[in-house]
Every structure is written in C-alpha cells, then in structure tokens.
C-alpha cells in the first residue's frame, strides 16, 4: 500500500511538471545562445527551447514587420531597429519581466533596449582576415575594397542596407550614419566598383557555415565575437579580427517580443535564468561575445576579460560611432542603393 501511494505521488509530480512544461520558440542568429545554458534551463524548469535562425537583419525585420514574428516567443533584435519598432507600436513592453535582483545591465544597454527589450550583447563591427593570405594585414576599411580588387572572389561583405553602406562610407572617411546625398553617392560608386569582384554579399558566418573547409573566403566584414565561429566552421586557425583605423559602429542587441504575443511564464523564467550572473557568464564565454550583463565581469575568466576583440582598448569618441535612426528619405536612399547594387548589370 505504501509502495502504491509513493508511486501515485511520483506520477502526480511528473504529470504536474509535464502539464506546466512549455516550448519557447526563439528567432535568433545561429550559435548565439549556449547549448550548455539551454540544457541547464530545460533540466531545471522542464520547458523546451527551440531556435529558428535568421542570417541577416533585413530578413529578420521582414518577419517582424509582417507580423510573422507572432510565431515566436522571443526574438533577437538590434538597438536601432528596436527603437523604430517600439515607436511604431509593434513590440511588447518587457520593463517588468525581470526580477529586481536580475537587473544587472550596463547603463548604455538599458538605454538602447529601453522598455521593449532585455539587453543581451554588444560589440563592434570590424574585419576578419586570414593572416596566411592577407599577409600585409588590414588596417583601414579601404583595404577591404582594395583586397577585393586585387584578389577577386575572396572577400565577403554583409548584405545590409545600413552596414553595407556604412562600410563604404567609413572607407571614404565619412560618418557611417550620414544622410548627405553626395557622400552616399560616393559610397554607392565604391560598392559598384567592387561588386563583381566580391565572393558574395552575405554574412561571413553564414558563408563559412555553408562552405566549411571548402571556403574561399580570405577577408570578411563581421561583428566582434564571430571570428571564432568562422575559424571553427572553416577549420582554418589563422583568422584575425581587427578594427580599422577609421573606427567602427558600436552595436547592441536585445531580446524582444511582439506586442500581440503575450509573454509566457516560460519565457519570463528563461529571461531571468539566462540573466543570472553565473549563467550569463557561461553563456558569454561559450558564445564568446561581450555580454550586456555587467556582472559577467565578476565571474568570467581572465582569457575572456583580456580579449581585445570583445573589449577593444583603443576606441574613443572619434573612432566609435553609434547607430541612429535615419530619416525616411535617407533610409529609402540606402535601400535603393542596395537594390541597384544587386540588380544592375
């Protein structure tokens, strides 16, 4: 009788856990959340986490703007877009989701993500190159374009209506977020000059993941923390990351939700779990990005803390630029430039 009672109690507990278990669907970059962290969360809470990946911000934005993001409980979004979507009433308010003791974010990341996002990571845009191929190194943004002209079909740059144009603007010595039409016209000419010599316009990590050891990529524009992924995918250990002398764009990314998608209990538990300092440190080190959780610094290893790719020392106000909301006219012009680059023969 005692055995039956214990058996019934055990079954009741298991049934109760399963009844409250949920699936959390996340729309994110590939290799952006630690498998170790997800496994620990699933084991502790009983929920499951599934991920769907996007390769470019433009593709992600189409999903969010169209309302298809309702299929996801959480999605990763950059600081510039979160401001735009928040003002348009597309995103949900996450200001009361985290427990008080878990509000560990930097002032900058809190300001960028605002009430519509939970800070996740931050970093720089720079250049990765194979030291065995680009033996003279990459010191300026113009070096990327020169290398493409001198070594056709070896350079990969993003396919993005903000960052692709920004790369050319930086190479020409202009503000990467300029709205000056003359400067944008010069950026267009530079991109057109090099277009046919590029290996492809897409995320360098996406190309590396597709081609792996067959990769022909020697130089690519990436975001801090991605060098290790590229080296792993391609099985090439000579990749180096650098920030060119003209400076860089500083990025921030946040977890967000669609306004019409209620924030589930499981999603709230996941956001609190992943932002506890110890877990955030594991996540940041395994994924190798600069976490927006400032308490990660108290738990991270010296190797992580001293990595200049993640924490560049030489940047100052003259060499670090921030993303800003462009006027509709300037935004449309950048989109038109990218469209022409793709379609003009």
Structural domains counted in the chain: 2
Torsion of CA 231, 237, 238, 239, to 10 degrees: 20
Residue 167 CB-half CA count within 13 A = 26
Q: How confident is the model at residue 101 (pLDDT cuts 50, 70, 90)?
A: low
**199: domain range?**
122-247+317-341
Q: What is the pLDDT of residues 286-324, one digit of tens each?
A: 999 999 999 999 999 999 999 999 999 888 888 899 999
Please indicate, yes or no, whether residues 198 and 128 belong to a single structural domain of this protein. yes
Residues 106, 177, single domain; the answer is no
Contact between 144 and 151 (Cβ < 8 Å): no
154 with 241, same domain: the answer is: yes
pLDDT surpasses 60 at 6: no
**Band (337; pLDDT cuts 50, 70, 90):** very high
Position 12 in a domain: no
Let me know whether 128 and 236 are in one domain: yes
- Residue-wise pLDDT for 264-278, tens only, equals 999 999 999 999 999
- Same domain? 126 vs 236: yes
9 within a domain of the structure (yes/no): no
- My answer on whether 215 and 282 are in the same domain is no
CA–CA dist 338, 307 (Å, integer): 34
Residue 10 domain flag? no
Residue pLDDT, tens place only, 109-137: 999 999 999 999 999 999 999 999 999 99
CA dist 126 → 152, 158, 249, 274 (Å): 20, 11, 8, 27
200 lies in a domain?
yes
Number of helices followed by number of strands (H, E) in the chain = 14, 11
Strand, helix or coil for residue 120: strand
Predicted confidence (pLDDT) per residue in 10-30, tens digit: 444 444 444 479 999 999 999
CATH number at residue 223: 3.40.190.10
Instruction: Say if residue 332 is in the same domain as residue 216.
Output: yes
pLDDT (average), residues 176-190:
98
79 Cβ neighbours under 8 A, 6+ residues apart: 112, 113, 117, 251, 252, 253, 254, 323
- Residue 8 within a domain: no
Q: Is residue 237 part of a domain?
A: yes
Domain for residue 15, yes or no?
no
- pTM, two decimals, is 0.90
Q: Is residue 175 part of a domain?
A: yes
Residues 285 and 329 in one domain: no
């Amino acid at each position: 009788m005692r055995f039956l009672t214990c058996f019934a109690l055990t079954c009741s507990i298991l049934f109760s856990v399963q009844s409250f278990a949920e699936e959390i669907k996340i729309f994110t970059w590939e290799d952006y959340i630690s498998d170790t962290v997800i496994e620990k969360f699933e084991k502790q809470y009983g929920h499951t986490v599934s991920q769907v990946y996007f390769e470019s911000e433009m593709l992600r934005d189409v999903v969010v703007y169209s309302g298809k993001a309702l299929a996801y409980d959480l999605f990763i979004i950059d600081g510039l877009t979160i401001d735009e979507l928040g003002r348009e009433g597309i995103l949900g308010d996450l200001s009361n989701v985290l427990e008080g003791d878990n509000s560990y974010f930097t002032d900058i990341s809190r300001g960028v993500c605002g009430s519509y996002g939970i800070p996740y990571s931050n970093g720089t845009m720079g250049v990765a190159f194979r030291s065995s191929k680009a033996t003279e190194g990459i010191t300026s943004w113009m070096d990327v374009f020169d290398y493409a002209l001198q070594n056709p079909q070896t350079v990969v740059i993003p396919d993005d209506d903000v960052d692709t144009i920004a790369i050319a603007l930086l190479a020409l010595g202009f503000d990467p977020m300029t709205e000056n039409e003359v400067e944008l016209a010069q950026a267009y000419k530079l991109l057109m000059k090099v277009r046919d010599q590029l290996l492809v316009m897409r995320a360098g990590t996406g190309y590396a993941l597709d081609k792996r050891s067959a990769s022909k990529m020697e130089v690519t524009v990436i975001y801090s923390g991605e060098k290790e992924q590229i080296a792993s995918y391609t099985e090439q250990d000579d990749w180096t990351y650098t920030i060119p002398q003209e400076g860089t764009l500083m990025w921030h990314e946040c977890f967000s939700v669609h306004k019409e998608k209620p924030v589930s209990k499981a999603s709230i538990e996941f956001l609190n779990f992943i932002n506890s300092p110890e877990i955030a440190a594991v996540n940041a080190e395994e994924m190798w990005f600069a976490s927006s959780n400032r308490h990660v610094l108290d738990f991270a290893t010296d190797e992580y803390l001293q990595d200049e790719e993640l924490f560049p020392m030489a940047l100052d106000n003259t060499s670090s630029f921030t993303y800003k909301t462009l006027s509709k006219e300037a935004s449309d012009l950048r989109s038109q430039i990218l469209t022409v680059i793709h379609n003009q023969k």
